[in-house]
């Protein structure tokens, strides 16, 4: 628990816990930053690297989902601008509506379908409770009463239907979440290898780049199945 992300922090930790402690360590779990592990593995080659699954998913969301969302928004907006210059106002307005949906979709795309379904269910119940509370008091709800959104899944599906690349990236993101929680090492490695091939063949630039990230961090990801560690407890 020190400030900084350099080799010095690792050396300070090792001095603090001592040699006997380090000899009994089987694996370390960390984010996708590779600053720490070379310092550890050089002194203790028996220790495995286990990347934190949350950080891998978070990286995927930023480098693939969010990056693709921004790219698709810019692409459609550019088409809308060209249509407007050519005097095709209706086409331009329709394209800008499409672009706005994609621009506003960050929350839906960065959240799993299961989580969105749970949120919709909870919001429906909360909205119902609010309405019943006013009914019990014998008064009408105020016109500006805040109601929680109940159609997150519907909004997600609308975006995915309108953009094939985002739909592919979202589906592969869900697959990746499932794969990194497999606790059979050989099965996990086989599924991950299949996932990488699919990403490479997707014709989506962001997915192809992330496939390279997976390959360059292969051992630390594979060891998620072997050790099942997470830094979430921190």
pLDDT in tens, 108-146: 999 989 999 999 999 999 999 988 988 898 998 888 888
CB contact set of 178 (below 8 Å; sequence gap of 6+): none
| Cα atoms found within 13 Å of the Cα of residue 151, Cβ hemisphere only | 5
Instruction: Collect contacts of 21-26 with beta carbons under 8 A, ≥24 apart.
Output: 22/47, 26/227
Q: What is the mean pLDDT of residues 141-158?
A: 89
Rounded Cα distance between 185 and 30, Å, is: 19
Q: What is the mean pLDDT of residues 170-180?
A: 95
What does pLDDT average to over the chain?
92
Left (φ > 0), alpha (ψ -120 to 50) or beta: where does 3 sit?
Answer: beta
pLDDT in tens, 17-32: 999 999 999 999 998 8
Give the whole-number percent of the chain exceeding pLDDT 90: 78
């Amino acid at each position: 628990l020190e400030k900084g992300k350099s080799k010095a922090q690792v050396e300070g930790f090792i001095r603090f816990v001592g040699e006997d402690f380090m000899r009994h360590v089987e694996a370390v779990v960390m984010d996708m930053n590779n600053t720490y592990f070379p310092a550890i593995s050089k002194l203790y080659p028996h220790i495995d690297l286990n990347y934190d699954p949350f950080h891998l998913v978070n990286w995927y969301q930023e480098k693939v989902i969010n990056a693709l969302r921004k790219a698709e928004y810019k692409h459609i907006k550019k088409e809308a601008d060209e249509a407007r210059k050519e005097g095709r106002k209706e086409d331009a307005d329709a394209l800008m509506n499409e672009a706005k949906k994609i621009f506003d979709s960050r929350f839906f795309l960065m959240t799993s379908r299961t989580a969105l379904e749970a949120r919709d269910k909870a919001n429906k119940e909360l909205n119902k409770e609010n309405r019943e509370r006013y009914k019990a008091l014998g008064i009408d709800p105020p016109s500006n009463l805040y109601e929680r959104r109940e159609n997150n899944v519907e909004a997600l599906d609308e975006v995915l239907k309108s953009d094939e690349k985002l739909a592919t990236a979202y589906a592969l993101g869900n697959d990746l979440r499932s794969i990194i929680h497999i606790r059979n090492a050989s099965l996990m490695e086989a599924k991950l290898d299949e996932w990488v091939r699919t990403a490479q063949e997707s014709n989506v630039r962001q997915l192809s780049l992330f496939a390279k990230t997976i390959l360059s961090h292969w051992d630390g990801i594979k060891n998620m199945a072997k050790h099942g560690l997470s830094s979430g407890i921190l």
